[in-house]
Each structure stands twice: as C-alpha cells, then as structure tokens.
Amino acid sequence: MTSPEMTAKWELALKQISQNKRTKDNFVEQIKKFVTKIINDVPGQMEQSMSLTSQVKQQQVSEAKANEQAQLGTCPLCKQGKIVDKGSFYGCTNYKGEKPCKFTLPKKWSEKAIGKTAIKALITKGTTAKLKGFESKKTGKKFDAKLKLTNGKISFDFN
Ligand SMILES: [Zn+2]
C-alpha cells in the first residue's frame, strides 16, 4: 500500500470515529495490524530485493569478465565471430553459423607457446611484436621472430 492511500484510509477512519461510525479500538486495532505487517514484511522485502540486486550485479560483472577473458577479439576472417580459447587451440565462435568459419590459431608454433597477447595482436593488427624462443624443427636452433596473419594463415615475419 502506498502512503497517500494509507493516509486517505486513516483520514476516513478518523472521520468515521468522529461520526461514531467506527470505534477507536477498531481504528487502533487496524493501525496495530498495519504496523505489525510493516515490521514483519518490510525488512525481509528490503533484504530480499537488496540481495537479489547485488546477486544480479555480481552475476553480470562475472559474466562480463568471463566473456572478456574468453574473447580475444573479433575474427579477422569472417569479421562476425569472436576468437575464443577452445582448449587446445584458438578458434572462431562462428564455426557453426550459416556460413561456418573455420578460422583457428594454434596455441603452439615452432615449439613456442603463443600467449593471448600475441593472439590478440595477430587478430587485431595482423602481426605480433617480436617473440622470443621459437625453435626450428630442422636444426633445433632457437630464434626470435614476429608472427603475421595472411588470409587467416599464420606465418613468420622476419622483417
Ligand atoms: Zn570467423
């Protein structure tokens, strides 16, 4: 009940008392009931709505964080899907769309684990900063290089 409604009701009750249409006891009883109801209901309702609000907020925040962490950027190939961590590789979320996108990126390249920073740079800029610690499969020699992305394919950029 809103307070203007309540005030109107009580004004009516007071009028009825003055006109002897209602007893004072009856009015007091009504107020007691109303106050008891407020005391019983309101704190619970407030707590409930507050905890619900904070729960929803927390959920939204953690979902947004999870999305942010999972998504490395927009797919450079289809420009619709997002690149996400698929466990053993990175892939496009649009892989089962109407026009399935087959874009993937390896987690390891020439014996070097490719970090998320490098993947992000690859899919947004098409190239990474110089990365250290690649290892040639032929010679076993370690070397540094940039990675670049051409038509969705990863390759070394020694420039
Ligand atoms: Zn894609």
- What single string gives the DSSP state of each residue in 73-101? EE-TTTSSSEEEE-SSEEEETTTTSSS--
Neighbours of ion ligand 1 (CB under 5 A): 75, 77-78, 81, 92, 94, 101, 103
Contact of 42 with 89, CB cutoff 8 Å: no
Q: Which of 86, 85, 83, 105 is nearest to 94 (CA)?
A: 83
Number of residues that this document lists for the chain: 159
Gap between the terminal Cα atoms of the chain? 74
Contact of 13 with 25, CB cutoff 8 Å: no
Per-residue pLDDT of the chain (159 residues; tens, 9 = 90+): 567 787 888 888 888 888 888 888 888 888 888 888 888 887 788 888 888 888 888 888 888 777 666 789 999 999 999 999 999 999 999 998 788 999 999 999 998 999 999 999 999 999 999 999 999 988 999 999 999 999 889 999 998
Place of tokens 């490395």: 72
Q: How far is the CA of 118 from the centre of ligand 1 (A)?
A: 18
pLDDT for position 122? 95
pLDDT for position 18? 87
pLDDT for position 125? 95
Q: How far is the CA of 124 from the centre of ligand 1 (A)?
A: 13
pLDDT for position 69? 64
Question: Global pTM?
Answer: 0.58
pLDDT for position 35? 86
